[in-house]
Amino acid sequence: MIARTDLALERHEQHGGQSPDGVRMQTERQKDAVITKIEILDETGARALEKPVGTYYTIETDGFPDSQLIRDGRLQAVTQALRQLLPEKGPVLVAGLGNPEITPDALGPKCADLVFATRHIDDETRRTLSLPRLREVSVIAPGVTGQTGLEAVEVVTGVCARVRPAAVIAVDALAAASVKRLAKTVQLSDAGIEPGSGVGNARRALNAETLGVPVIAVGVPTVVDALSLAQDVFGEEAQADEEDKRQYASMIVTPRETDTVTHAAARLLALAINCALQPELEGEELLALM
């Protein structure tokens, strides 16, 4: 049974570190981060990695810094990757996906609370506040179907029809196959996102096909299922029959300090989004606006 993961990098590792046909990978070490770029070029690569065609950036760190460290290389790496994926101009809608009542799933809503929304700021207000020209940004947290009766894609589609963004940034918690990547990894992709897929509760995808605009998916793994955890620790030969494996695969494990790391990850992602979208503002100014 293949370990469950939302990370393209871990899917690639399941091929023994060799890029299958239709996949290209390059890795770069920067200050405080290792950045891996995986490009899934065609349907052959998509089938091999079980991920949609697109570009995936994975940023591995020693953990998330206090977001007061705005010069930290981890923040710079996330910001640079996001700028590579976003269109240069046009309004942006940020959607914080997930359930704010469940801590390891609250990354998206927590991040949305901290993103600098600007759509309501007119030129007169901007001049009064001595702000530079701002990119138009709208922010929503659509909740989950069990709370609202609505799929996230339905809510986001409705808002897109109103604000007509050039792109959507969808922020969500992810699942990893290895505990070493929990709360230490950021994945960014232009292939969109399927909310809940990492924990076996997949909902309708948010992508260019469903929304009509590019969807940049940004996430941090906060959970691992128990079967993937056992395989990570003991290897594929961990003793369990098929029934036990199915039960383990339905159990979700999260770090003891998940509240702290989810909050830190949300602040880092929000600050990176703010920096990527408002390059005329200094990091200190954006931090003060959060």
Residue 72 lies in a domain: no
Helix/strand/coil (H/E/C) assignment for every residue in the chain: CCCCCCCHHHHHHCCCCCCCCCEEEEEEEECCEEEEEEEECCHHHHHHHCCCCEEEEEEECCCCCCCCCCCCHHHHHHHHHHHHHCCCCCCEEEEECCCCCCHHHCHHHHHHHHCCCCCCCCHHHHHHCCCCCCCCEEEECCCCHHHHCCCHHHHHHHHHHHHCCCEEEEEEEEECCCHHHCCCEEEEECCCECCCHHHCCCCCCECHHHHCCCEEEEEEEEEEEHHHHHHHHHCCCCCCCHHHHHHHHCCEECCCCHHHHHHHHHHHHHHHHHHHHCCCCCHHHHHHHC
Residue 40 lies in a domain: no
Please give the tally of structural domains in the chain: 1
Question: Does pTM surpass 0.85?
Answer: yes
- The pLDDT of residue 90: 96
Residue 47 lies in a domain: no
Residue 264 lies in a domain: yes
Residue 67 lies in a domain: no
Residue 268 lies in a domain: yes
Report residue 168: phi and psi, to 5°.
Answer: -115, 135
Residue 162 lies in a domain: yes
pLDDT digits (tens, 9 = 90+) for 125-166: 888 888 889 999 999 999 988 889 999 999 999 999 999 999
- The pLDDT of residue 237: 54
Give me the tens of pLDDT residue by residue for the chain, a chain 290 residues long.
456 799 999 999 988 878 999 999 999 998 889 999 999 999 999 999 999 999 999 999 987 765 555 567 889 999 999 999 999 999 999 999 999 999 999 999 999 999 999 999 998 888 888 888 999 999 999 998 888 999 999 999 999 999 999 999 999 999 998 888 998 999 999 999 987 554 455 568 899 999 999 999 999 999 988 777 777 666 655 555 566 666 666 678 888 888 988 999 999 999 999 999 999 988 778 887 77
Q: Which CATH number belongs to the domain containing residue 226 in this structure?
A: 3.40.50.1450
- The pLDDT of residue 1: 45
Residue 125 lies in a domain: yes
- The residue segments making up the domain with residue 152 are 89-289
The pair of structure tokens assigned to 177 is 């196959």
